[in-house]
Amino acid sequence: MSKIKVYDAIMGSGKTYDAIERMKSYLKDDKSFIYITPFLSEIDRIMDSLPINSVYAPLGPGEKGEGKYDYNIDYCDESGNIDLNSEGSYQYLNKRAQFLKLCNKKRNIVSTHSLFMNLKKDDYSLFDDYILILDEVVNPLNVFNIGAKDIEILTNENLIIIDQETSEVKFIDDEYNDNAFKEVKRICNNSTVFFLDKYFFVWVFPIEIFKGFQRVEILTYLFKGSLLSSYFKMYNIDYKINYNNEEDHLRSIKKLLNVYEGSANYNESLNSFSKTWIKNLNKKNLKKVVNSTEYIFKKVFKTNTEENAFTTFKAFRQKLSGNGYTKGFIPINARATNIFKSKKSMAFLGNRYHDPQTVHFFKERGVILDDDIWALSELLQWVWRGRIRDNKPMNLFIPNSRMRKLLNDWLEGKFVSNGQSNKGFLKAV
């Protein structure tokens, strides 16, 4: 039986509430758990939902740790070393060190994605008695453009070796302390790194961490399109998906979403609003996009500036900003936050694809990425930052025909998984 269980359900269907109820039962059964959430703001919500002093959160600089955060294991020695069994009192620990000490004490923990992703592969041994509850997927890899010349230097100076069969990179000079390749040494020593396409190193989150947990629960939606799903396939890790019935949800959402269909859309170009397409726009055509977006907000949706939101790729934010919506920018990869839930009208000026290096990396390992399911998942996560998350009517402008079709197909139920009957077992191969 797989020890990884995915709770795959649409946003707003109660995944977090159900997880809190499971955590309450784990407390009664004296089972240890770690809850990982995307945002600091969610930590208080989780802690306030559980009995006081039953769960702990690593503290940042300046946080006093009063009340429910109190514990006395927040120090390391004067050299910065962590002694998991010591109660020494020389200096304040960073959050990762606190996290590890809490694990060593078998405390229940709530923390963030960013801290979780800083774990090292040697940390796995602390988690064998824990249940991991991961709220939303993490990105398990990062592509670094090192450059062919620097990789040549690293190899010729005997700082690294590259396995000819697996392409794994090992940093072999333990005494190297210069700044030039300090970061390369760090990522190689803390996780698994692969050489790719002459110019790139690919950092991969240590699979030892996931394997180290007694059980893993993942709360997300459209998991099969995520990079975490592909990562598990790459390592031949089985997982079980538990689906919810989506049909009733989709019917109500379809009534609430007003998706613009009109002449301002780019119906003929599937690649419109991709990074390359936007980058190649001249000033005249950039102005055309801005004018169209302004028109949609003002004349079609007829909403006020504070009610409007838009997104595009970070590099083009200023180029595609316009009157009546500039201040409502929401990052294109936003998820799990509710600070934009007052937005009535939203414009998605993007077209999402995996970067070529990520596609190539997985393809070399026999895993084919599904751009469409991933793009749909990213789009839905962004859309659900607006007032639709509270089941209120909302307007959408998605000028790219591919992204708009993905959304409309989803609303028609064409992406509903075979989990309607809660089958949902998927073996990753």
Write the pLDDT tens digit of every residue in 342-396.
Answer: 999 999 999 999 999 999 999 999 999 999 999 999 999 999 999 999 999 999 9
- Helix H or strand E segment including 23: helix 15-28
pLDDT for 244 equals 82
- Region 247-412: CATH code: 3.40.50
**Mean pLDDT along residues 34-47:** 90
pLDDT for 40 equals 82
The pLDDT of residue 398 is above 60: yes
Structure pTM?
A: 0.87
The pLDDT of residue 213 is above 80: yes
What gap in Å lies between CA 218 and CA 36, rounded to an integer? 10
Token digits for 168?
A: 């794994």
**Beta carbons of 47 and 33 less than 8 angstroms apart:** no
**Mean pLDDT along residues 132-157:** 96
Residues 286-320 have pLDDT tens digits of: 999 999 999 999 999 999 999 999 999 999 999 99
Reduced to 3 states, what is the DSSP secondary structure of residue 114?
helix
pLDDT for 79 equals 42
The pLDDT of residue 1 is above 60: no
**Beta carbons of 253 and 13 less than 8 angstroms apart:** no
Q: Name the band, by pLDDT with cuts 50, 70 and 90, for residue 229.
A: very high
**Mean pLDDT along residues 214-219:** 97
Q: Where are the domains of the chain?
A: 4-55+108-140+207-243, 141-204, 247-412
380 Cβ neighbours under 8 A, 6+ residues apart: 11, 221, 222, 407, 410
| Mean per-residue pLDDT of the chain | 88
pLDDT for 155 equals 96
Alpha carbon 93 to its chain centroid, in Å, reads 26
The pLDDT of residue 417 is above 70: no
The pLDDT of residue 419 is above 90: no
Q: Name the band, by pLDDT with cuts 50, 70 and 90, for residue 83.
A: low
Residues 195-212 have pLDDT tens digits of: 999 999 999 999 999 999
Return the bridge partners of 194, or none. 168, 202
Q: What percent of the chain has pLDDT over 70?
A: 89
Return the bridge partners of 216, or none. 4, 132
Dihedral angle, C-alpha 394, 330, 407, 261, nearest 10 °? 60
What gap in Å lies between CA 2 and CA 425, rounded to an integer? 10
Domains 4-55+108-140+207-243 and 247-412 alike in fold: yes
Q: Name the band, by pLDDT with cuts 50, 70 and 90, for residue 420.
A: very low
**Mean pLDDT along residues 248-256:** 91
406 Cβ neighbours under 8 A, 6+ residues apart: 372, 375, 376, 379
CA atoms within 13 A on the CB side of 4: 21
DSSP 389: G
Q: Name the band, by pLDDT with cuts 50, 70 and 90, for residue 67.
A: very low
**Beta carbons of 146 and 175 less than 8 angstroms apart:** no
CA atoms within 13 A on the CB side of 299: 8
Token digits for 14?
A: 């109660």
Q: What percent of the chain has pLDDT over 90?
A: 76
CATH superfamily assigned to domain 4-55+108-140+207-243? P-loop containing nucleotide triphosphate hydrolases (3.40.50.300)
pLDDT for 63 equals 53
What gap in Å lies between CA 335 and CA 316, rounded to an integer? 20
